Every structure is written in structure tokens, then in C-alpha cells.
Amino acid sequence: MEKLSFRHATSRALPGAKPQAITGVVASGNLEVLLERTLAPTECTVEIETPIRGYGEVWAAVVADFVARSQPGGLRITINDGGARPDTVSLRLLQGARLMEV
Amino acid sequence: MGERIIDPAAKGWAISWYEASARARLDGLLDAGSFREVVGPEERRMSPHLPLFDLPRAFDDGMIVGSGRLDGQAVLVAAQEGRFMGGAFGEVHGAKLVGLLRAALALKPAAVLILFDTGGVRLQEANAGETAIAEVMRAITDLRAAGVPVIGLIGGRAGAYGGGGLIAGTCSRLAVSEGGRISVSGPEVIETNKGAEEFDSRDRALVWRTMGGKHRRLIGGADAYADDSVAAFRQVALDLIGRAPAFDLATLEAEQARLEERLTRFGDCRDATEIWARLGVNDPEAVPALATADFDALLANLRETTHDAR
């Protein structure tokens, strides 16, 4: 299992007040994303556990792109990966952020 | 903690039970907004065994438990996520269900609903999983003896196999959809042990007419047949809570007599279609293709598929 951890600063807090949300399932080619509003308003962390080793740079790029698009300030995001492709990861992260806003 | 952005009910969309995640099933089954999860994903009670095999864990270990309301009545619910490890019972997964059932003994809800979606015991933590199956069956009998109905809902892609099939057999009532399957040994297991001549696991039609929802309903293994939608399962669950049998000696003796008679009548049948013919179905070959309304009409005509045993 490879463990990755990213920390980003955002320009704002993610809108909404929902304290937590979960989306996705740990299955082949899929992943689950747990989002918790527990950090300072302009901070975001993403922790990942994945059985597929050696893709740290791809994860870093997908996470950076998500943070730039969603500005998910205040969120602690934790991922259990089941070998999802980068586009699926990106989709689930955006889905998760949206769930925290509604 | 649901996982929806759009409310499908407000849009008038039917949600397929088979396709839905365990969380989406609970979300649509219970009264809107009434679900309260216990030991939720944020507690991160994950399997202590899977990391030894370098396998990914799930925050809820594939078992979601909590309380909610069903048409205003207080119920406790457990839902298995069939896509995570085939919904299999591991240590945490099983302990959450055992804990829920034991809590029900004190809380006395109107019913406990178990949303099965499982291939059985998780091989990576098999001892803990087998123990959990035994503990769940004991807890269910204790609960039924205390007068709380335990209703099983089966319509997920993993079905209710292995220990999950055994647990289903201890429930007060079972509802199944066409896609739902109930058995102990799965198709691949039978084929591996007895050969493809005995059971060809790739023959989907054979698998479904031997273990599928329609067959289970026809021979009285399940007590209700539901369309593959969350709304249909909600309706059926409500109906079954009101019709749960007493758990006493008379019920058990009736169940024993029913099973003995079933074996005498159908024990020599080589295929489910032969059983259906003996049950009085005029055109057994047509059963798998029947729509729900036609299948319900057939059940009403046969009458003997309704019994108070179990």
C-alpha cells in the first residue's frame, strides 16, 4: 500500500456548512472519498492510500488541478483507492466537493 | 451521510436497487432525512487484516448501520456494500451487524431491516467472518424471540451467498427482486467442486432459475417479490413488517413440515422448471420472462406460495 499526502492553501473556504460527506466505493477502478470540514478556512489536505504504487506524480497533478478548480478550503479529504484512473479520481473529488456545498 | 447531489424522488426518477450503492438504497428506503449512522466512515473503523494482504480498506468496511424511520416507524437498518470485497463478512463488517442486532434487543424498534449484498465470508479474515455469521444468527433468533421482526431485502448484484444465505434463512421475512439471488454455495463454487456437467456457472439462465428471485419466491424461500426499484423495496418492507410471523414452536414445526414436504415433492426434479410445473405453473418456460404484474398474478393463482412458516 502506498500512502500519499498533499497539503494546499486555497483562496477561500468551500461554501456550504455540511460537516462531512462520502462518495464512491472501494472497488476495482473506483475509489471512495471522505470529506470533512475540519481544517482552517484556507487549508486543504488530501491523504491517499492506494494499492497501485509509483503514480505519486499523477496523484499530485490531479489533486492540484482539483484544488485550483474547487478551492476546497477547510476540507480534510481522505481517499481509499481501488485502482481508479485519474479521470475517475478527478470526477469523485469534484462530486465530493459538490456534496459538501449542497 | 448520503451521497446524492440531486434528489431523484423529487425528479420522479426510479432508482434501481441493483445498481444503487448501499448508501443510496438506505437513502431512498427510509423516510427522507431520517437515517442516523452509527460508527460512520469518519470513525475510520477499518479492517485490521486487509493491509496484511496489501488490499485497500473501506472507511465503513462495507457495512453501514444505523437507525431511521420507515413510514414513521422507528427501525434499525444494516446495508452491505456489494461492490467492496463482494460485500463479504470480515471482522469489523460482521461486528457492526452483531452490535446493531444486540442494540435492537434493548431499543425494541418496529423492525430491523438487513439489506443483504454479500458473497459470504471474506477469505482474508475468514475466522472472524465465520464467527460473525454465527453471532448474527444467534442475535437474530434472540431478537425474533423478543418479538422484533427481522426483514431481509435481497436484490443486489452479489446476492445473499455463503454465510449471508444462512443469515437470510434466519430472518422473519425475506423480500427478493428478480436480480436478487439466495443460496449458500455460489455457482462457481459448485462448478469447481462438482464439475460443469453438474452446474455450469456461465449459464446465466440456469443460475437465475436455480438461485434467482423468482424461483426463491415460487418455492416459498422468499415471502415477497419486488420490482427492481428502491421504492418497490420500501413498499414491500412496510408490508412484511406487518406480516412477520410469531417465533414460537408452532412456527418452527410448520417450517420443518414445509421443508420436509418440499423435499418429498420436488427432491427428484432435475431443473427448476420441473418444480414450477409440479407447482401448477402452466407454462414454466415462460416464468423467467414474466413482468412483475404477471408474476404477481401467477403467485396469486398458485396460492400455496404463501405460508406462515419460517
Residues of B in contact with A23 (CB under 8 A): 3
pLDDT at B310 over 90: no
Residue B1 confidence class, pLDDT cut points 50, 70, 90? low
Please state whether the predicted TM-score (pTM) of the whole model is above 0.90: yes
Query: Helices (H), strands (E): how many in chain B?
Result: 12, 7
Residue contact A20–B57, C-beta within 8 A:
no
pLDDT at B46 over 70: yes
Residues of B in contact with A99 (CB under 8 A): 3-5
Residues of A in contact with B41 (CB under 8 A): 22, 32, 34
Q: Which of A25, A81, A98 sits opposite B84 (nearest CB)?
A: A25
Residue B2 confidence class, pLDDT cut points 50, 70, 90? low
Size of interface A-B (CB pairs under 8 A): 54
Which is it for strands A31-37 and A75-81: parallel, antiparallel or unpaired? Answer: antiparallel
Position B3 scores a pLDDT of: 61
Q: Which of A21, A25, A82 sits opposite B21 (nearest CB)?
A: A25
Cα angle B15, B21, B25 (rounded to 5 degrees) comes to 55
Give this complex's ipTM.
0.95
Strand stretches in chain B, DSSP E: 36-38, 63-70, 73-80, 111-116, 150-154, 173-177, 224-226
Position B108 scores a pLDDT of: 98
DSSP B210-224: HHBHHHHHHTTSSSE
Q: Which of B23, B54, B84 sits opposite A26 (nearest CB)?
A: B84
Average pLDDT, chain B: 95
DSSP A70: H
Residue of B nearest to A20 (CA): B1
Q: Which of A21, A23, A80 sits opposite B56 (nearest CB)?
A: A80
Residue contact B83–A25, C-beta within 8 A:
yes
Cα angle B110, B115, B117 (rounded to 5 degrees) comes to 165
Residues of B in contact with A36 (CB under 8 A): 42
Number of other CB atoms surrounding residue B111 within 10 Å: 24
Which of A1, A25, A79 should we substitute to test contact with B (largest number of B Cβ atoms within 10 Å)?
Answer: A25
Residues of B in contact with A24 (CB under 8 A): 3
Q: Which of B1, B54, B56 sits opposite A22 (nearest CB)?
A: B1
Rounded to whole angstroms, the Cα distance separating A38 from B259 reads 56
Reported as a single tens digit per residue, the pLDDT across B156-206 is 999 999 999 999 999 999 999 999 999 999 999 999 999 999 999 999 999
Closest approach of B56 to chain A, Cα-based (Å): 6
Q: Which are the contacts of A65, defined by CB distance < 8 A and separation ≥ 6?
A: A90
Residue A97 confidence class, pLDDT cut points 50, 70, 90? very high
Closest approach of A25 to chain B, Cα-based (Å): 7
Rounded to whole angstroms, the Cα distance separating B252 from B308 reads 10
Q: Are B304 and B217 in contact (CB under 8 A)?
A: no
Q: Are B80 and B120 in contact (CB under 8 A)?
A: no
